[in-house]
Amino acid sequence: MSGKTILLVIGGGIAAFKSLDLIRRLRERGHRVVPVLTKAGSEFVTPLSVSALAGEKVFEDLFSLDDEAEMGHIELSRAADLVVVAPATADLMAKMAHGHANDLASTLLMATDKRVLVAPSMNVRMWEHAATQRNLKTLREDGILICGPDEGTMACGEFGYGRMAEPMEIVGAIEAALNDGPLKGKHILVTSGPTHEPIDPVRYIANRSSGAQGTAIARALLALGARVTFVTGPADVAPPTGADVVAVHTAAEMLAAVEAAGPVDAGVFAAAVADWRVASASDQKIKKDGKGLPVLEFAENPDILATVCASDTRPALVVGFAAETQDVIAHATAKRKRKGCDWIVANDVSPATGIMGGAENDVTLITADGAEDWPRMGKDAVAEKLALRLAEALGGASGI
């Protein structure tokens, strides 16, 4: 992506320290970052560190004659390609939702004619508060893009939603919002997460997939400018900002959602789909009735990947996954042929590898040309590498 100008408003939260990393990463990718520090923000990070990292003057004061002489707040709000608020505190979100303009940050958020992306950060109770949720809804309705927050342990020691999204996730959301990557104009379908197959209304059969790899892939594709339809089973991680998200439970629902997504340029089938469902799931909770143990009979689920590969609307590029616990390459190579996909991302998911549910992945990419072993790396890095390969292939280069 060619370098863009991002106006970064840093609010007053402990996550402001992560905004320093965000500035660094945006600059590494060739973007210019013009920082605006709120009064509360300057309690957490100093103007000097922000300015040093951005290589720019830091704007802080609405009524500064110096700042206004250099670049007035109206101009400042419009000279950027995108306005980003990170961290966005509960207070800043409330101001935005209600149209307050009583300091530099809130004034230029009112004055801008550019898209605004907000990365909330606050204590879980503040995030869950009805007022914040109301403001969030208003911001969404106003067309403001929201990235995060993530779930995790916070600086205050509590656990839950409220932690600001990681800098690379924000970078992904920023680049998706700028929508100017090599995948601009391409529509890509990604399946992700496990499926849950009901036994009765309260019990189900599942698997250990967290959805982390599929989510990272969707995010990386969005960062390269693709339109992404993200069909996800019940995952542990939040779906990517900016994707068209379709949440499903069962394999049958996933197939229906995939078919409803319409023609796409590529499909990445990262979901860990249950191979079997309970043949006649009970409508009522199965009770211990003293007549012995229940016996479950299984029926085979549709193979979504194989169905798509055999369909009339087969995408130009189909990428499957092969989660194996032994003879990884041999099984995955056979699976590529059997299912009819172009590429298979194969990995060893034996418990000892820590891959299922973990942060890293160790994959081999299998194409018509053979097997390519990638070094073990973070799931985000695998996703970025795969997204770039997709961009290359869809751009007309050989390799499909």
Q: Which residues bind ligand CTP (CB under 6 A)?
A: 191, 251, 269, 271, 273, 275, 301, 303-305, 320-323, 335, 339
Which residue's beta carbon is nearest to the bound ligand CTP? 304
Within 13 Å and on the Cβ side, how many CA atoms surround 44? Answer: 19
Rounded to 5 degrees, what are φ and ψ at 8?
Answer: -105, 115
- Measured from the CB of residue 137, what is the shortest distance to ligand CTP in angstroms? 34
120 or 211, CB closer to ligand CTP? 211
Structural tokens at position 277: 């469902």
20 or 355, CB closer to ligand CTP? 355
8 or 318, CB closer to ligand CTP? 318
Active-site residue flag, 156: yes
149 or 320, CB closer to ligand CTP? 320
339 or 389, CB closer to ligand CTP? 339
CA dist list (Å): 290 to 286, 294, 296, 298:
12, 10, 17, 23
Omega of the bond leading into 87 within 30 degrees of 0 (cis): yes
Report the chain's C-alpha Rg in angstroms.
Answer: 23
- Measured from the CB of residue 162, what is the shortest distance to ligand CTP in angstroms? 32
- 281 conformational bin, left if phi > 0, alpha if psi -120 to 50, beta if neither: beta
- Measured from the CB of residue 225, what is the shortest distance to ligand CTP in angstroms? 24
Omega of the bond leading into 149 within 30 degrees of 0 (cis): yes
- Measured from the CB of residue 369, what is the shortest distance to ligand CTP in angstroms? 19
What is the number of other CB atoms lying within 10 angstroms of the CB of residue 396? 7
Q: Which of 25, 52, 135 is nearest to 88 (CA)?
A: 135
Q: Which of 112, 118, 37, 115 is nearest to 77 (CA)?
A: 112
164 or 317, CB closer to ligand CTP? 317
- Measured from the CB of residue 366, what is the shortest distance to ligand CTP in angstroms? 12
Structural tokens at position 119: 């990365």
- Measured from the CB of residue 305, what is the shortest distance to ligand CTP in angstroms? 3
Structural tokens at position 180: 């100017």
b/e per residue 187-214 (b: at least 16 CB within 10 A): bbbbbbbbbbbbbeeeebbebebbbbbb
Q: What angle do CA 209, 268, 149 make, to 5 degrees?
A: 55
- Measured from the CB of residue 193, what is the shortest distance to ligand CTP in angstroms? 10
21 or 303, CB closer to ligand CTP? 303
- What angle do helix axes 90-98 and 130-141 make, rounded to 10 degrees? 50
Cβ atoms of residues 146 and 120 within 8 Å: yes
- Measured from the CB of residue 295, what is the shortest distance to ligand CTP in angstroms? 22
191 or 241, CB closer to ligand CTP? 191
The whole-angstrom separation of Cα 316 and Cα 335 is 19
The residue annotated as part of the active site, out of 147, 156, 309, 341, is: 156
The whole-angstrom separation of Cα 180 and Cα 241 is 16
Rounded to 5 degrees, what are φ and ψ at 283?
Answer: -75, -25
Would you name the residues annotated as active-site residues? Answer: 156
